[in-house]
A = this chain, B = another copy of it.
Amino acid sequence: MSSESPAPDSVVEQRKQRAEAWFTELRDRLCGEFERIEDELVGINAARLAYTPAGRFQYTPWQRDDSSVADPGGGLMAVMHGRVFEKVGVNVSTVAGHFSENFAQEIPGTEATSGFWACGLSLVAHPRSPHVPPAHMNTRHIVTGKHWFGGGADLNPIVAHEPDTRDFHAALKETCDTHGDDYYDRYAAWADDYFYNKHRGEPRGIGGIFYDYLDSGDWEADFAFTRDVGLTFLDIFPRLVRRHMFTPWTEKERAYQLFRRGRYTEFNLVYDRGTRFGLQTGGNPDAVLMSLPPLASWP
């Protein structure tokens, strides 16, 4: 992590506001797209859910409880239980406070202050069909004594479709290549390393990209990259959903989906950095654990 000379407070404040405005805009565009997909379901997969209407997002605000700061923040959970999406959550949260002494040791820029500000969007989609891949995307801006962006997107197919893997990685690579020659190689490798169930000795899915502590010295460039990661996901993931949402599935594929969701749950509760950050900073547990699947099995 390199750094520009420290920005005046007014610039830092303006950047926080721009980041939050972007995450909110991206949330609205993602939720709109997912609701359109809900409306588009026809055929056998709609018929087997004859009495289930197309899903719509439900919005639940939450406040963070912390008397150490004037505005501890909170967030807005957007969750939809639909026909194509058995459960999909898109959370935007903006929080500020002070890290616990132990947790501060894991975070850059906490030498002089334990104060933090963080804003981010997290998305987890658990489709009903085992042919439609579950996906995760998160982007965030964090300010301590330092400031950086982080995020990533990864795909967790149940029934493997090789073209999905290829197209998902190609889309991320194209975006990465626009912003930094080595971004794709580094961030795809980081995703492979990060999205890995060590105790099982197996990857969570087919990867994607993961980045953290991104401060190139050019805040505008880093913010632009982070926006593009969100836009890339907004483009590629709905394409993969529409590719498979009409395909019928078998009970055996459904059982395997529930089993794979168990492994997904293991990753999120044992390793996930965002989950850990949320629970360590007094986040709303329902918002932090929104990522967990609607139904999972350990047979």
Contact = CB atoms under 8 A, between A and B. Distances in A.
A87 B285 CA distance: 28
A295 B297 CA distance: 4
Interface in A241-299: 258, 262, 265-266, 269-270, 279, 285, 288-289, 292-299
Contact of A294 (B266, B293, B297): B297
B296 A296 contact: yes
A200 interface: yes
Contacts of A166: none
A48 interface: no
A295 B199 CA distance: 21
A200 B265 contact: no
A148 B292 CA distance: 37
A206 to B, nearest CB: 21
Interface of A: 81, 87, 199-200, 258, 262, 265-266, 269-270, 279, 285, 288-289, 292-299
23 contacts: A81-B299, A87-B298, A199-B279, A199-B285, A199-B289, A258-B295, A262-B292, A265-B265, A265-B296, A266-B269, A266-B289, A269-B269, A269-B270, A270-B270, A293-B297, A293-B298, A294-B297, A294-B298, A295-B295, A295-B296, A295-B297, A296-B296, A296-B298
Given A199-B285, A265-B265, A289-B298, 7 more contacts: A199-B289, A262-B292, A265-B296, A266-B289, A292-B298, A294-B297, A295-B296
